[in-house]
Chain A
């Protein structure tokens, strides 16, 4: 089955830019989506189709996609961004086509 690899943790100082990566084979041909999950809450979509933002999500959240890696970029990080972040895509060739990365804990120092 398809595997998405995320770093377990990323730390960043307030005001800086956080980059969370998501690696997968042939990921360049797939749409990647990103979710934010705070403790005790349901996931919230923050970026879809690699780089688009749902309404209500700050412009500080963006995404990029290059080679075998997708990246969630959070600029001007503040304490409220501390959360787990998951990437997700659909792999049509897999028995389990809806795949999530293992998640990345973003810590704001």
Chain B
């Protein structure tokens, strides 16, 4: 069964850090680029970050550059999002999703994990 299972997240104070995980199963993890997409409360979807299938290429939305780091572990079949210097604007549901080529659809999504940044 193809699935992405997310963990991490929670309520944190501004300026702190958090790491999200997304564990893959049921497919050849190394063949897919992995993305993080977020959704602020009551808002639409926003692409956040991508890591290439071999981990060599990474890209971020401007608002998280220098604060967030995406990585992947080919043995644990997991993609991570390390989030530093969190602000209230980062409060959102975070989803991981897979994609083979850049112009493909996100055909499988994780269940989502909530990040709430509040003092």
List residues of A whose CB falls within 8 A of some B CB.
Answer: 30-31, 33, 35, 42-45, 48-49, 54, 86, 88-90, 92, 95-103
Cα–Cα distance between A95 and B45 once the two chains are bound (Å): 17
Q: Which 8 A-B pairs have the closest CB atoms?
A: A33-B105, A48-B105, A98-B47, A100-B45, A103-B44, A90-B103, A42-B109, A102-B44
In residues 23-61 of chain B, which contact A (Cβ within 8 Å)? Answer: 35, 37, 44-47, 50, 59, 61
Shortest Cβ distance from residue B48 to the other chain A in the assembled complex, whole angstroms: 9
B contact residues around A45 at 8 Å (CB): 105-107
A54 and B103: CB pair below 8 A? Answer: no
Flag if A98 contacts B105 (CB, 8 Å): no
Q: Are A44 and B109 in contact (CB under 8 A)?
A: yes
Q: Using a Cβ–Cβ cut-off of 8 Å, how many residues does chain B contribute to the interface with A?
A: 21
Of all chain A residues, which has the CB nearest B96? Answer: A42
Which residue of the partner chain, among B44, B103, B105, B110, contacts A101 with CB atoms under 8 Å? B44
Contact of A42 among B47, B103, B111 (CB under 8 A): B111
User: Contacts A48-B105, A49-B105: A42 and B95 contacting too (C-beta < 8 A)?
Assistant: yes
Of A42, A86, A90, A92, chain B has the most CB atoms within 10 Å of the CB of: A42
Q: Is the CB of B95 within 8 A of A43?
A: yes
**Which residue of chain A is the closest to B102 with respect to CB atoms?**
A90
Contact of B45 among A48, A49, A92, A103 (CB under 8 A): A103
Residues in B71-119 with C-beta less than 8 Å from chain A: 95, 102-107, 109-112
Q: Which residues of the other chain, B, contact A31 by a CB distance below 8 angstroms?
A: 103-104
CB-based contact A30/B103 at 8 Å: yes
Q: Which residue of B lies closest to A40 (CB)?
A: B112
Whether A43 and B109, one on each chain, are in contact in the complex, defined by CB atoms closer than 8 angstroms, is yes
Choose among B44, B95, B102, B111 the residue with the greatest number of A CB atoms under 10 Å from its CB: B44
